[in-house]
């Protein structure tokens, strides 16, 4: 290596003085680099590299921002309830250390609100079908008639409810390591604005 | 790998015994030469010290707080350790240079050459450890999002520790191997290819997570009474860009330097790029300072642990 070549020329003197303290490259022992006849500016690689890097990062930022706006379809393989649970557990945030528990409970409230809406809609629909077939004095018959017709619907509803209850179910199932840990585990690198979710849930809870 | 700063110690020790006149006659430098851009040692020391302190704080906080004994925080600790190693490398180098200045170190001794090798392998270990830690953090977050219900079964504490042990063993072995065989072109190329590959992989993971979060936000927005703004996704884009930007700006200059050093040391353009090596080293130190802010301090639990630590020390003083 070049260092060993240098050592063979060395004298035995070892004293250092500050005036000899210079920074030099090891590899300029290869020979002097000629700077004559340069077509471009001598720092062109430096400038080109940094400009390219900055352009690339800004380009990535714009691509990501555009992705949010153009709505590229994303194929989700999981159930919507599972994903909703995930989303709710993530929207727990970086910026609110004190409110993390409240945010989580609010988001569960928000989700249960949406499930509640679904349930209400289904029940209303069921009531409408019941009322449309109601005739006076034949309640028992109607009930019996209604039951088989609506049982399938009710079962569907039950299924839907259990399906939508999966988040709560999973929540209690994983109680052993729950609490703040659940939020911490599911902290995403992406900050989703939960401020907008909280006012919505405020409206619902109040 | 003979990084220039480390081997400059040896060079410096050898240089002093050569009279200055011989220097000038042996090397005819043009006036338009690219002289090296010198970063003062005080700046190096300050940034390295801040980096070491910050990462040490992260480690102490995770060790102290039982709630933080989770795979996610262990991966963040691994990143903190690798950043600390990088800052330590710079600090050690500076100390050795100062010792040389004062004349306490014997020039060209076996000790100095061995120290040079050890320091180089430590630096490569820190670099590889940093890259792999970032990869494990991204993979952990990916599993959290896409396998949320099975996360506790997939990423147990034991598995996380095994993964970390395997990564650090691999990095230590690679560091020693690369330091020994640093003159081989194949080693340099493989090292240089590893960097963009890791970056692209991490980017793919984060973009996939980002797309899922975006589709969820859209679904929430489609609910009747919710008012989710577009700002949520812009914030996500900003966060991703920060991750990507920090990684690139801090590591890419150094990697390019290694490439140019291997392939075109005599080219004047390459020589001018290589003259800013100390700035590149400073950027790596800055990475050690910025990484905890971007990864560790975003966790509310860790922040509250810090507050408790500082409040306790303050109350002890009183």
Task: Report the CATH number that the domain containing residue B144 is assigned in CATH.
Answer: 1.20.1070.10
- φ and ψ of B162, to 5 deg: -65, -45
Query: Which residue range(s) make up the domain with B245?
Result: 6-302
| Res B230: pLDDT | 57
Contact A64 B215 (CB under 8 A): no
B67 interface with A at CB cutoff 8 Å: yes
The verdict on residue B68 lying in a domain is: yes
| Res B90: pLDDT | 80
Q: How would DSSP label each residue in chain A?
A: -HHHHHHHT--S-----GGG-----GGGGG-PPP-TT-SS-TTHHHHHHHHHHHHHHHHHHHHHHHHHHHT------S-HHHHHHHHHHHS--SS-SSSHHHHHHHHHHHHHHHHHHHHHHHHHHHHHHHHHT--TT-HHHHHHHHHHHHHHHHHHHHHHHHHHTHHHHHHHHTGGG-THHHHHHT--SS----TTHHHHHHHHH-
| Res B284: pLDDT | 87
The size of the A-B interface in CB pairs under 8 A is 264
Query: Which residue range(s) make up the domain with A57?
Result: 41-69
| Res B232: pLDDT | 62
| Res B41: pLDDT | 82
| Res A125: pLDDT | 52
Tell me the pLDDT of chain B averaged across its residues.
81
The verdict on residue A11 lying in a domain is: no
Residues from chain B that touch A117, judged by Cβ atoms under 8 A, are 224
Tell me the pLDDT of chain A averaged across its residues.
51
Residue of A nearest to B249 (CA): A53
| Res B112: pLDDT | 76
Of A69-78, A173-182, B275-284, give the range with the top mean pLDDT. B275-284
The verdict on residue A63 lying in a domain is: yes
The verdict on residue B97 lying in a domain is: yes
With bands split at pLDDT 50, 70 and 90, how would you rate the model's confidence at A53? very high
The verdict on residue A106 lying in a domain is: no
The verdict on residue A171 lying in a domain is: no
With bands split at pLDDT 50, 70 and 90, how would you rate the model's confidence at A96? very low
The verdict on residue B312 lying in a domain is: no
| Res A9: pLDDT | 42
Contact A184 B210 (CB under 8 A): no
A144 interface with B at CB cutoff 8 Å: no
A9 interface with B at CB cutoff 8 Å: yes
d(CA A103, CA A183): 10
Return the C-alpha torsion angle A42, A44, A49, A54, nearest 10: 120
Of A135-139, A153-157, B210-214, give the range with the top mean pLDDT. B210-214
The verdict on residue B47 lying in a domain is: yes
The verdict on residue A60 lying in a domain is: yes
- pTM of this structure: 0.64
| Res B247: pLDDT | 86
Average pLDDT over residues A109-133: 50
Q: Which of A2-11, A64-73, B39-48 has the lowest mean pLDDT?
A: A2-11
The verdict on residue A84 lying in a domain is: no
The verdict on residue A87 lying in a domain is: no
Instruction: Tell me which residues of chain B, numbers 153 to 182, contact chain A at a CB-CB cutoff of 8 Å.
Output: none
d(CA A178, CA A163): 21
B260 interface with A at CB cutoff 8 Å: yes
The verdict on residue B317 lying in a domain is: no
The verdict on residue A55 lying in a domain is: yes
Percentage above 70 pLDDT, chain B: 86
A137 interface with B at CB cutoff 8 Å: no
Contact B148 A204 (CB under 8 A): no
| Res A51: pLDDT | 94
Contact B210 A94 (CB under 8 A): no
ipTM over 0.85: no
A116 interface with B at CB cutoff 8 Å: no
Is the pLDDT at A82 greater than 80? The verdict is: no
Query: Number of structural domains, chain B?
Result: 1
Angstroms from B273 CA to nearest CA on chain A:
5
Q: Which of A191-205, B78-92, B224-238 has the lowest mean pLDDT?
A: A191-205
Is the pLDDT at B167 greater than 90? The verdict is: yes
Express each pLDDT in B35-84 by its tens digit: 888 888 888 889 999 999 999 999 999 998 888 898 999 999 999 999 99
Instruction: Tell me which residues of chain B, numbers 119 to 158, contact chain A at a CB-CB cutoff of 8 Å.
Output: 138, 141, 144-145, 148-149, 151-152
């Amino acid at each position: 290596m070049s260092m060993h070549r240098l050592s063979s020329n060395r004298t035995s003197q070892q004293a250092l003085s500050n005036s000899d303290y210079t920074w030099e490259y090891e590899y300029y022992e290869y020979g002097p680099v000629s700077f004559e006849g340069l077509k471009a500016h001598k720092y062109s690689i430096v400038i080109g590299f940094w400009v390219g890097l900055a352009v690339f990062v800004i380009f990535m930022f714009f691509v990501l921002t555009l992705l949010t706006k153009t709505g590229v379809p994303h194929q989700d393989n999981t159930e919507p309830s599972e994903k909703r649970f995930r989303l709710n557990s993530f929207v727990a945030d970086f910026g609110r250390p004190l409110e993390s528990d409240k945010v989580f409970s609010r988001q569960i409230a928000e989700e249960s609100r949406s499930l509640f809406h679904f349930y209400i809609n289904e029940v209303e629909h069921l009531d409408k079908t019941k009322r449309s077939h109601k005739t006076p004095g034949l309640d028992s018959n109607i009930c019996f008639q209604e039951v088989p017709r609506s049982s399938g619907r009710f079962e569907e509803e039950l299924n839907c409810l259990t399906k939508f209850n999966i988040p709560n179910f999973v929540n209690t199932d994983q109680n052993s390591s729950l609490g703040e840990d659940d939020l911490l585990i599911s902290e995403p690198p992406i900050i989703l604005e939960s401020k907008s979710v909280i006012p919505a849930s405020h409206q619902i809870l109040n | 790998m003979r990084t220039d700063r480390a081997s400059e110690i040896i060079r410096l020790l050898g240089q002093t015994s050569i009279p200055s006149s011989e220097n000038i006659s042996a090397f005819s430098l043009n006036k338009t030469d690219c002289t090296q851009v010198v970063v003062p040692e005080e700046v190096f020391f300050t940034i390295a010290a801040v980096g070491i302190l910050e990462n040490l704080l992260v480690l102490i906080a995770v060790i102290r707080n039982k709630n933080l004994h989770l795979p996610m925080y262990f991966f963040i600790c691994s990143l903190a350790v690798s950043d600390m190693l990088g800052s330590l490398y710079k600090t050690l180098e500076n100390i050795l240079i100062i010792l040389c200045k004062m004349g306490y170190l014997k020039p060209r001794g076996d000790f100095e050459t061995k120290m040079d090798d050890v320091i180089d392998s430590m630096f490569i270990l820190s670099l590889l450890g940093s890259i792999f830690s970032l990869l494990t953090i991204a993979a952990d977050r990916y599993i959290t999002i896409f396998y949320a219900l099975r996360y506790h079964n997939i990423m147990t504490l034991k598995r996380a520790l095994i993964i970390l042990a395997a990564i650090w063993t691999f990095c230590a072995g690679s560091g020693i191997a690369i330091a020994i065989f640093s003159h081989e072109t194949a080693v340099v190329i493989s090292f240089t290819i590893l960097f963009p590959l890791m970056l692209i992989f991490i980017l793919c993971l984060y973009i996939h997570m980002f797309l899922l979060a975006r589709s969820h936000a859209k679904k929430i927005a489609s609910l009747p009474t919710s008012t989710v703004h577009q700002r949520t996704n812009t914030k996500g884009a900003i966060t991703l860009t920060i991750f990507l930007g920090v990684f690139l700006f801090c590591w890419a200059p150094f990697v390019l330097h290694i490439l140019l050093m291997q392939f075109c040391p005599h080219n004047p353009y390459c020589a001018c790029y290589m003259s800013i090596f100390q700035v590149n080293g400073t950027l790596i130190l800055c990475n050690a300072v910025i990484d905890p802010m971007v990864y560790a301090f975003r966790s509310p639990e860790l922040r509250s642990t810090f507050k408790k630590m500082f409040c306790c020390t303050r109350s002890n003083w009183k």
